[in-house]
Chain A
Amino acid sequence: MEIVLVGLNHRTAPVEVRERVSFTVEQSRKAADELRSRGILAETLVLSTCNRSEIYGVPPESSHECAPGLSSFLSEFHAVRADVLSVSLYHHYDRAAVRHLFRVAAGLDSMLLGEAEILGQVREAYKFAHEYGATGPVLNRLFQGALEVGKRVRTETELGTRPMSVASAGVKLAERIFGKMNERSALVLGAGTISEQVVNQLRDRGIARLFIMNRSREGAEELAGRVGGKVVGWGEWDTALKLPDVVVTSVSAEEPVLRREILQAAMAARGNRALFLMDLGVPRNIEAAAADLYNVYVYNLDDLTEIVEQNRHARQSEVPKAETIVDEHVGKFLSWQASVELVGLVDALRSRLREERASFIRARMDTMNHLGAVERAQVESMMDELLEKLLVEPAERLRGEKELRRKIQNVEALRDLFLSNREKP
C-alpha cells in the first residue's frame, strides 16, 4: 500500500461537520508537520474546500494501519468526537484513492457536476503543499496527474462549459451578445436575494459598472454598499436605461414594471445598441410585447430555467467521456508507480544477492583452502558476473516493456516472494 486517502465530503457529512473539519492554510501546514513527526505519513497533502476535507498521504512504510491513525488524528486535530467523525469519513487506498482524486479534479465528485472551481482549489492545495515541502515524489506525480485530468476533462468534454444556475445562465447569455463583461455596465432592478445572486455572477465575470434601482432607496443603498454599485432613483428610466447593456429585474409587482413604451424610448435614446434583459420576477417585470423590439433580447425566469435544465442533461451525458479520461490517467499513474516500485525491487534484490554471495563464500571457505588468493578472487568475480547476468536481463525488460509492467500489478507479492525473510527496505 502506497497511497492513502481519508476524508469527507458533501455527500458523507452535513455542513456542521464539514465546517469543523475544514483546514485553513496554516492548519494544513501544521497537520502535515504533525503527521510526519508522528510517523503516520511521509508525504501529506490537505485538500480543504467548503464541500470537502481530504488528506492524501504516503505512509513511511507499507502498512494498512495508517488509516485508523489518520482518522483519530483528524478527530484529535479538530476536536471532533471520533464516533461523530467516523460515520462521515471515507478511506481509500492506492487505485481507489488515485481514482477518487482524479474524479474530484475532473469535477465529477462535485456537488454541482463539472464545476470549474475545484480544479483551481486542487492546484492551490498542491502548490502550497509542494512549496512547503510536505509532498514527495509520489504525491507530486499524483497531483500533476490530477491537474492534467482536470484540464483534459475541461477541454475535451462539455462537462463544465454550460451554465448551471439561472443567474449564471443569464450572464453567460449576455456574453453571447457582448463578449467579455469587463467593459460593460448593468442595471439591477430590485435589491432582493435573487438580484444579489445575479450581481455576484456579474462581478465574477468582471462587470465594469453596476447600477442599482429599488423602490425603497435604503434597500438599493444597502445592496450597493455591499457589492459596490451606484444607486439610481426609482423610475428614472430615461437616464437609467441609456448606458447599461444588461438589465436584471427581480421586483415583486403585480404589473410589468418595464413597459414596451419605456423600452422603446430607451432603445431610441441608446441608438439601438443591443440591450439584454433578464426578467427574474414572478409575475414578470417586463411586458411580453417588449421582446420583439429591435436589438432587444429578453429572457424570463422560465426561459432561463429551461436552459439550465437542458444543460443539466447535457452535462450528465458528458460524464462517461470524463470517466474514460479519468480511467486512462489512473492506469497511467499506476503503471508509473509500478515501474518505480519494480526498479526499487530490482535494486533490493541485487543487494540481497550480493550479501548472499558474500556469506555463501564465507561458509564454503574451508573447501576452497587449496585455492590461492588470486583464484579465490576469480571465483568471487565469476559468481558476481553470474548474478548480474541473472538480474540484468529482467531489470532491462522491466524498464523497457510497458506491457510487462502492466501485467505485474502486485509488486508487493514479488517482494514477499523474494525478500520475505528479511526486513523490507
Chain B
Amino acid sequence: MHTVPYHDVFGAMSLFGWLLALTYLGLELFHRQRSVGAFVLPFILVFFVAAHLAPADRLSPPPAKGIVFAFHVTLSILAYAAFALSFVFSLIFLAEERLLRSRRLGNVVWRLPPLELLERMSRSSVFVGLLSIAVGTVLGFVWVDRLHGQIWYYDPKYVVTLLVLVLYALYFHLARSATWRGARASKLCIFNFFVVVMSFTVVNLYLSQSHRYF
C-alpha cells in the first residue's frame, strides 16, 4: 500500500497489465470458460511491453499517500483494465460476427469462442469496470477533500470520467436491449474504449494537473 505506482507511466501501465490479467482470470472463473484466454493474452502482453517502452520521466511526488489514495489509484486502474477487456471481447465479437455473416469461414472461426459468451463476458467486464470506477472516483473525492479541505476543484479529468461512466452505463443497459444487442452494442463498447484511451492520453498529458498518469 506504500508503493502505489501513480507517479510514472511505467508503474501505472504495469499495474494496469497485472489488473488486466487478474480481471480476466476472474471472468474466466466466473463464466467457467477458457477458450478466450488465447486471444486476450496478446493484448495483456502489448500493455506490458508498452509499459516498458514508455518514457521514464517522473513526476515530483505530490503529497499523496494513505490507504484512500491507494485504493483510488488501484480501483481506477482496475476499471480501465476491465474496460480494456470488454474492448477486446467486443473486437473479437465483431470480427467473428463478420466472418459468420459473410459465410466465408477461414480456419480461425472453429477456434473462436461463441458469440454469446463474448457478449456476456464483455458485459460482466463492463460491470466490474463501472463498479470500480464509481468507488474509485468517490475515494478520489474523499482524498481531495482531506487534502485541501474542499471537495471540488475543477479538473478536466472529472468531465471525462463522468463521460466514461455514462457511456459504459449506457452500453451496460443497451447490450441487453432489442435494438442494440449484438454487433451494435459491441461497436458502442469499442467506441467507449477510445474515449477511455483519450482520457488516458490527451486529457492526462495536456489538460489535467493532478492526473498525469492514470
Contact = CB atoms under 8 A, between A and B. Distances in A.
Contacts of A295: 181-183
A294 B183 CA distance: 9
Contacts of B117: 179
B181 A314 contact: no
Nearest to B117: A179
Interface string B92-135: 00001000110101010110111111000000000000000000
A178 B100 contact: no
B105 A177 contact: no
In this complex, the interface size class of chain A, counting residues with CB under 8 Å from chain B, is: 20 to 34
A373 interface: no
A177 B118 CA distance: 9
Given A176-B115, A179-B116, A161 B110 contact: yes
Given A303-B103, A307-B105, A178 B114 contact: yes
Contacts of B182: 272, 274, 294-295
A272 B178 CA distance: 5
B60 interface: no
B187 to A, nearest CB: 12
Nearest to A298: B103
Contact of A314 (B101, B107, B116): B107
Nearest to B181: A272
Which of A291, A295, A314 has the most CB atoms of chain B within a 10 A radius of its CB? Answer: A295
Contacts of B114: 175-179
A128 interface: no
B200 to A, nearest CB: 33
B3 interface: no
A268 B181 CA distance: 12
B100 A297 contact: yes
Contacts of B177: 271
B179 A272 contact: yes
A158 B111 CA distance: 10
Interface string B130-160: 0000000000000000000000000000000
Interface in A136-165: 158, 161-162
Q: Which 10 A-B pairs have the closest CB atoms?
A: A179-B114, A271-B178, A272-B178, A295-B182, A177-B115, A303-B103, A179-B117, A272-B181, A178-B116, A297-B100
Interface of B: 96, 100-101, 103, 105, 107, 109-110, 112-117, 177-179, 181-184
21 contacts: A158-B107, A162-B110, A173-B105, A175-B114, A176-B100, A176-B112, A176-B114, A177-B100, A177-B116, A178-B115, A179-B114, A268-B178, A271-B178, A272-B182, A274-B115, A294-B183, A295-B181, A295-B182, A299-B103, A303-B103, A310-B105
